[in-house]
Amino acid sequence: MGIDEAVLIDIEAQVAAAQSPVVLAELRAKYPRMAWLRCDASDVAETPYKTAGLFDLHLVGGDHCPVVVADPAQATGFILARRAVK
């Protein structure tokens, strides 16, 4: 499936502007065909694809079980990993 550049830019902008985890519900509504996962940043060992606002963004792909991928062309969704607020 893959995620194109325009969608990546839009998602990054929405996440960067978000002040709360409510952004996840908004993104799910806007992009219902994508997989969306939410966790704490400490729960994800992989390097984030991007960091935006309160979250690290990880691309997710895979056939049966979600796995973190580096290439947007292989991605089918995102993990929004909330970083600790200091």
Give pLDDT, residue 12. Answer: 95
Give pLDDT, residue 66. Answer: 83
Give pLDDT, residue 40. Answer: 95
The structure tokens listed for 17 are: 């502007």
pLDDT of 1 higher than 80: no
What type of residue is 83? R
pLDDT of 86 higher than 70: no
Q: Give per-residue pLDDT as tens, 16-56.
A: 998 777 899 999 999 999 999 999 999 999 999 999 999 99
In angstroms, the CA 74 to CA 63 distance is: 10
Cβ-Cβ contacts under 8 Å for 79 (sequence gap 6 or more): 37, 38, 39, 44, 57, 58, 60, 66, 68
- Phi, psi (rounded to 5 degrees) for 66: -70, 140
